[in-house]
Chain A
Amino acid sequence: MLHYLNASLPTPQPTRRAFLKLSAGAVGGLLIGAVIPHKGLANTASGAVATPFVHITPDNRVIVLSKHLDKGQGTATGLATLVAEELDAAAEQVEVEFAPSNPEVYKNLLFGVQGTGGSTAMANSFDQYRQAGAVVRAMIVAAAASEWGLPASEITITNGVVSGGSNSATLGALSALAAAQEPPTDVTLKSPQDWVYIGKGFPRVELPMKTRGSVGLFGMDVQPDGGLVAVTARPPRFGATLASVDATEALALDGVEAVLEIPQGVVVIASNTWIAMQGRDALTLDWVEGSGETRGTDALLAEFRASLDEPGLPSHPRGDAAAKLAQAAQVVEAEYVFPYLAHAPMEPLDMTVLYDGQSATFWGGSQIQTVDHGTAAAVLGLEFPQITINTRWGGGSFGRRATPDGHLTAEAAMIGKAWLDAGNAARPIKLVYSREDDIRGGYYRPMAVHRVRAGLDAEGNISGWEHRVVSQSIFTGTAFESFTVKDGVDHSTVEGISDTTYAIPDMHVDVHHPAVGVPTLWWRSVGHTHTAYVMETMMDELAVAAGRDPIEFRLAYLTGDARLAGVLQLAAEKAGAAGPEGTHRGIAVHKSFNSYVAEIADVRLRDDGTVKVEKVTCGVDCGVPINPDNITAQVEGALGYGLSAILREEITMVDGEVEQANFPDYTPLRITDMPEVEVHIVRSDAAPTGIGEPGTPPIGPAVANAVFRATGTRIRELPFTRHGLA
Chain B
Amino acid sequence: MVTLTINGEPREIDANPDMPLLWVLRDELKMTGTKFGCGVASCGACTVHIDGEPTRSCQALIGDLEGANVTTIEAIDTPAAKAIQAAWVELQVPQCGYCQSGQIMSASALLTATPKPTDDDIDAAMEGNLCRCATYARIRRAIHRAAEIMEA
Interface residue ranges, A against B (CB under 8 Å)? 71-74, 203-204, 206-218, 220-221, 223, 229, 254, 271-275, 277, 344-348, 393-398, 434-435, 629-630, 633-634, 636-641, 643-644, 662-664, 668-672, 674-677
A629 CA to B91 CA, complexed, in Å: 10
Which chain A residues lie closer than 8 Å to B115 at the CB level?
Answer: none
B104 within 8 A of A: yes
Which B-chain residue is minimally distant from A209 (CB atoms)?
A: B97
Which chain B residues lie closer than 8 Å to A273 at the CB level?
Answer: 23, 26-27, 36
A348 CA to B23 CA, complexed, in Å: 15
Which chain A residues lie closer than 8 Å to B116 at the CB level?
Answer: none
- Shortest Cβ gap from A391 to chain B (Å): 14
B113 within 8 A of A: no
CB distance A668 to B40 under 8 Å? Answer: no
Q: Which of B31, B37, B104, B132 has the most CB of A within 10 A?
A: B132
CB distance A396 to B133 under 8 Å? Answer: yes
Q: A212-B74, A221-B32, A663-B38 are in contact. Are A633 and B138 (CB under 8 A)?
A: yes
Q: Which of B20, B30, B104, B137 contacts A223 (CB 8 A)?
A: B30
Which B-chain residue is minimally distant from A673 (CB atoms)?
A: B136
Q: Which of B35, B93, B127 contacts A671 (CB 8 A)?
A: B127
B111 within 8 A of A: no
Q: Which of B20, B32, B39, B136 contacts A215 (CB 8 A)?
A: B32
A444 CA to B133 CA, complexed, in Å: 18
CB distance B123 to A72 under 8 Å? Answer: no
- Shortest Cβ gap from B84 to chain A (Å): 8
A161 CA to B60 CA, complexed, in Å: 52
Which chain A residues lie closer than 8 Å to B131 at the CB level?
Answer: 346, 671
CB distance B122 to A671 under 8 Å? Answer: yes
A72 CA to B135 CA, complexed, in Å: 11
Q: A207-B92, A211-B85, A273-B27 are in contact. Are A435 and B38 (CB under 8 A)?
A: yes
Within 8 A of A (CB), among B82-118: 85, 88-89, 92-101, 104
Which B-chain residue is minimally distant from A435 (CB atoms)?
A: B38
A200 CA to B71 CA, complexed, in Å: 38
Q: Which of B85, B123, B127, B136 has the most CB of A within 10 A?
A: B136
Query: Contact size class for B?
Result: 35 or more
- Which 9 A/B pairs are nearest by Cβ-Cβ distance? A213-B33, A640-B134, A72-B96, A395-B98, A210-B97, A213-B73, A72-B95, A674-B136, A221-B32
Which chain A residues lie closer than 8 Å to B123 at the CB level?
Answer: 671-672
Q: Which of A216, A344, A671 contacts B139 (CB 8 A)?
A: A671
CB distance A344 to B32 under 8 Å? Answer: no
Which A-chain residue is minimally distant from B30 (CB atoms)?
A: A223
CB distance B27 to A671 under 8 Å? Answer: no
- Secondary structure at the A interface, as helix, strand, loop or mixed, is loop
B19 within 8 A of A: yes
A525 CA to B97 CA, complexed, in Å: 21
B129 within 8 A of A: yes
Which B-chain residue is minimally distant from A398 (CB atoms)?
A: B132
Which chain A residues lie closer than 8 Å to B99 at the CB level?
Answer: 346
25 A–B contact pairs at CB < 8 A? A204-B92, A204-B94, A207-B92, A208-B89, A210-B94, A212-B85, A213-B72, A213-B73, A218-B98, A220-B32, A221-B26, A223-B27, A272-B23, A272-B28, A273-B36, A274-B19, A277-B39, A347-B37, A395-B97, A395-B98, A397-B96, A640-B134, A641-B132, A663-B40, A676-B137
A427 CA to B37 CA, complexed, in Å: 25
Which B-chain residue is minimally distant from A215 (CB atoms)?
A: B32
CB distance A347 to B92 under 8 Å? Answer: no
- Shortest Cβ gap from B140 to chain A (Å): 7
CB distance B96 to A396 under 8 Å? Answer: yes
Which chain A residues lie closer than 8 Å to B138 at the CB level?
Answer: 633, 636
Within 8 A of A (CB), among B43-98: 43, 45, 72-74, 85, 88-89, 92-98
Q: Which of A208, A223, A671, A676 has the most CB of B within 10 A?
A: A671
Q: A220-B36, A662-B42 are in contact. Are A671 and B140 (CB under 8 A)?
A: yes
B150 within 8 A of A: no
CB distance B92 to A664 under 8 Å? Answer: no
B126 within 8 A of A: yes
